[in-house]
Chains A and B, each alone.
Chain A
Amino acid sequence: MFTLRTAKWLGVSACAALLAAGCAATQRSGEVPQSAYAGGKLNLGTAPTTAEIAHYFSYPADGRGLPSGSGSYAQGEKVYQTKCLACHGDKLQGTPLGDRLIGGRGTLVNNSPAKAPVKTVESYWPYATSVFDYVKRAMPFNAPGSLSDDEAYAVVAYILGEANIVAKNEVINAGTLARVQMPNRNGFVSPDPRPDVP
């Protein structure tokens, strides 16, 4: 360990190396002494195999990396009834155990504390890729990550069909998913406008 400890005191600024990596190099906290580290790599860790990396997934809105496979509304209805209905309700209306998944369009513009907006996949979610990503990673809640890609595509086709976002005869796959226009696609702003009060 002594080499690493002494590395901290080599006095060579790491800022150059960090700047090369696009670092703002500002020491905001005064507690993260990045400039105290020697530049250059420490050559720690190992190179993962392609298979190890392929084990993971995350699908941004442009749909890159989506898996092969596909699913229809009809197939999704079966998946939904056996694996989702118990918590999300027979009409996707939600139960105390799981969120409501459809409805709520037109409730987002509201300035009354007496009316709670209805935020669902149909009314609120800006991207269909997020639904596939989330269902594949975290649902069903009692068996997370257990759906096949075909099942995940199918149940998304079913939810989007029930939400009147895609036609019930449309097949959802890597090609079609990212092209789905969600009703609230333009409902979000960033960057953060705060501070927003004087």
Chain B
Amino acid sequence: MKTQDPYDNEKTRRKIEAMVEAEERYLAALRRERLESEATPLRITGRRTFLAAAAAAAGIGGLPRIAGAAAPPGAVERPVPADPTKVQGTPTNDDGGYGSRSQFESEARWRFGTPTKESSWTMTPLEHGMGIITPSGLHFERHHGGITTIDPSRHTLLVHGMVEQAKKYSMADIHRFPSISRTMFIECSGNGLTEWSKPTLKTVQGTHGLTSTSEWTGVPLALLLRESGIKPGAKWVLAEGADAAVMTRSIPLDKCLDDAFIAYGQNGEAIRPEQGYPIRLMLPGWEGNTHIKWLRRLEVSDVPYQTREETSKYTDLMANGIARQFTFVMEAKSVITFPSGEMKLPGPGFYEVTGIAWSGRGKITRLEVSADGGKTWADAHLQGPVLPICHTRFRFPWLWDGKPAVLQSRATDETGYVQPMLKQLTDVRGLNGPIGSIYHLNAVQSWAVAADGSVTNVHA
């Protein structure tokens, strides 16, 4: 009998390799698409044209398509007239009343190569992001038991436990509450887990794609809890989803009475199924896993429940063998999305460096960019709106002299917290295996620009 490896090296290697392969498949599709489209004239105006032209050799900025599919996901393939001014266009409302994107746009989420498709995750293509809103269909996903399908007319939310009066709410009841809207990011605390010990994934979608921003609409949780009345001694609220994982997390009551809310809206329409339709718990600034999707139950308690997702997972193992538990807040972080991994700059000259910054503790107050691997820094422009706990777009004019450069961005939030370098994090937390303490990697990201203009993920 083969003796088992005393460490989980094999399993971890497989896991990382699967992620690298998933990204590689996506990049290969991009390259194929590029070859196929080379004969046709540039079809997109503005920045995308530039990117497409700039990146032709490196093969990014193109349009990946599902093999054999007529149109990219979310688009409808239509004939392209030689001269659009000489024929009538598509009849009005022929799309059934719900629009689709252009057939020439096909950036997509890709799924990490986890063995099951039900416990898996997808990444937002940040490299093509504009402004601060993530299109609902590109919002990253993390599921532990697939995407459940719920009929809202049969869905209820139960509030019970240490309350004066247990309550049951239908969706109609929930819609009768006063509502709020809030534009905010959700980030999975596992975002960047492949990057702890060495640069591993190639694109910003791979290294940072587990963060997205939407405008969410719903009901402050404090209002729901007030309907029930909380008993003295209560400190925690267990939130439970109606999916196959019956996902549960214990949330401190203070957070529930502060800024937590229950969202039924996303970017102006009902929340998407993969984001928790019909309702999702929103905990501004806290790790994505706590934003329980398909929310069906809230149980008020004096103790946390020690669920699997707050013990076995979503705990941060330090080098000394002790794991941090209930590490909820997503600390300040930023990343340059242009230029980023796998892109290619056509030559020296002017570039507008851009990216996003965000903090779970409030507003971004400052964003610095370095082009020399952190030796010197200069302030970037924060593009409004600058909202608390929300992706914030930054822009930075850069004259590239054509010599090798290392681009970095560093965010500061309104608490004065400055985004750390990776070494600062590992000095304190250690590096317990190839993926370290897994969660909460918010270090400065470095992109190396080579003399030939190609951009790669590096640790600097």
Interface residues of A (CB under 8 A from B): 1, 4-5, 7-8, 17-18, 21-24, 26, 28-34, 37, 41-48, 52-53, 56, 58-62, 93-94, 96-97, 100, 103-104, 107-119, 121, 124-127, 129-130, 133-134, 137-138, 141, 144-145, 187-198
Q: Which of the segments B43-51, B163-171, B393-401 contacts the partner chain?
A: B163-171
Interface residues of B in 216-238 (CB under 8 A from A): 220, 222-223, 225-227, 229-230, 234, 238
Q: How close is B296's CB to chain A, nearest CB, in angstroms? A: 8
Q: In this complex, what residue of A is CB-closest to B417?
A: A195
Interface residues of B in 97-133 (CB under 8 A from A): 115-116, 118-119
Give the number of chain B interface residues (Cβ < 8 Å): 99
Question: B284 near A: Cβ within 8 Å?
Answer: yes
Interface residues of B in 163-195 (CB under 8 A from A): 165-170, 173, 176-178, 180-182
Q: How close is A178's CB to chain B, nearest CB, in angstroms? A: 11
A116-B8 in contact (CB<8A): yes
A-B CB contact pairs (8 Å), 17 listed: A24-B258, A31-B180, A31-B182, A45-B167, A52-B158, A60-B306, A62-B303, A108-B317, A116-B11, A117-B433, A119-B317, A124-B323, A129-B306, A130-B311, A133-B248, A134-B307, A189-B322
Question: B7 near A: Cβ within 8 Å?
Answer: yes
Question: B346 near A: Cβ within 8 Å?
Answer: no
Give 7 nearest A-B pairs by CB, closest first. A109-B321, A113-B197, A111-B319, A116-B433, A116-B12, A108-B321, A134-B308
Cα of A144 to Cα of B158 in the assembled complex, Å: 21
Cα of A111 to Cα of B145 in the assembled complex, Å: 33
A188-B168 in contact (CB<8A): no
Whether A138 touches B245, Cβ cut-off 8 Å, given contacts A111-B431, A117-B432, is yes
Cα of A26 to Cα of B362 in the assembled complex, Å: 13
Residues in A whose Cβ lies below 8 Å from that of B119: 141
Question: B325 near A: Cβ within 8 Å?
Answer: yes
Residues in B whose Cβ lies below 8 Å from that of A17: 226
Whether A112 touches B227, Cβ cut-off 8 Å, given contacts A28-B258, A60-B301, is no
Select which of B144, B181, B230, B427 is within 8 A of A21 by beta carbon: B230
Question: B9 near A: Cβ within 8 Å?
Answer: yes
Question: B22 near A: Cβ within 8 Å?
Answer: no
Q: How close is A102's CB to chain B, nearest CB, in angstroms? A: 10
A144-B145 in contact (CB<8A): yes
A24-B305 in contact (CB<8A): no
Select which of A31, A109, A191, A197 is within 8 A of B319 by beta carbon: A109
Q: In this complex, what residue of A is CB-closest to B180?
A: A32
Cα of A96 to Cα of B322 in the assembled complex, Å: 27
Question: B87 near A: Cβ within 8 Å?
Answer: no
Q: How close is B67's CB to chain A, nearest CB, in angstroms? A: 25
Cα of A196 to Cα of B319 in the assembled complex, Å: 14
Residues in B whose Cβ lies below 8 Å from that of A34: 220, 222-223
Q: How close is B326's CB to chain A, nearest CB, in angstroms? A: 4
Residues in B whose Cβ lies below 8 Å from that of A192: 324, 326-329
Q: How close is B264's CB to chain A, nearest CB, in angstroms? A: 14
Q: In this complex, what residue of A is CB-closest to B13?
A: A116
Cα of A143 to Cα of B144 in the assembled complex, Å: 14
B166-A4 in contact (CB<8A): no
Q: In this complex, what residue of A is CB-closest to B299?
A: A58
Q: How close is A90's CB to chain B, nearest CB, in angstroms? A: 11
Whether A24 touches B257, Cβ cut-off 8 Å, given contacts A60-B306, A108-B317, A110-B321, is yes
B259-A197 in contact (CB<8A): no
Q: How close is A127's CB to chain B, nearest CB, in angstroms? A: 5
Interface residues of B in 237-252 (CB under 8 A from A): 238, 240, 244-246, 248
Cα of A7 to Cα of B223 in the assembled complex, Å: 13
Q: Given A28-B258, A32-B220, A58-B240, 14 other A-B contacts at CB below 8 A? A: A24-B254, A29-B389, A31-B181, A44-B169, A52-B158, A58-B299, A100-B11, A109-B321, A111-B319, A118-B8, A126-B306, A126-B311, A188-B323, A197-B425
Cα of A18 to Cα of B430 in the assembled complex, Å: 42
Select which of A45, A119, A196 is within 8 A of B428 by beta carbon: A196
Residues in A whose Cβ lies below 8 Å from that of B312: 119, 121, 124-125, 130, 134
Residues in A whose Cβ lies below 8 Å from that of B460: none
Cα of A28 to Cα of B254 in the assembled complex, Å: 13
Question: B73 near A: Cβ within 8 Å?
Answer: no
Residues in A whose Cβ lies below 8 Å from that of B431: 111-113
Select which of B115, B158, B177, B440 is within 8 A of A48 by beta carbon: B158
Residues in B whose Cβ lies below 8 Å from that of A31: 180-182, 387-388
B322-A195 in contact (CB<8A): no
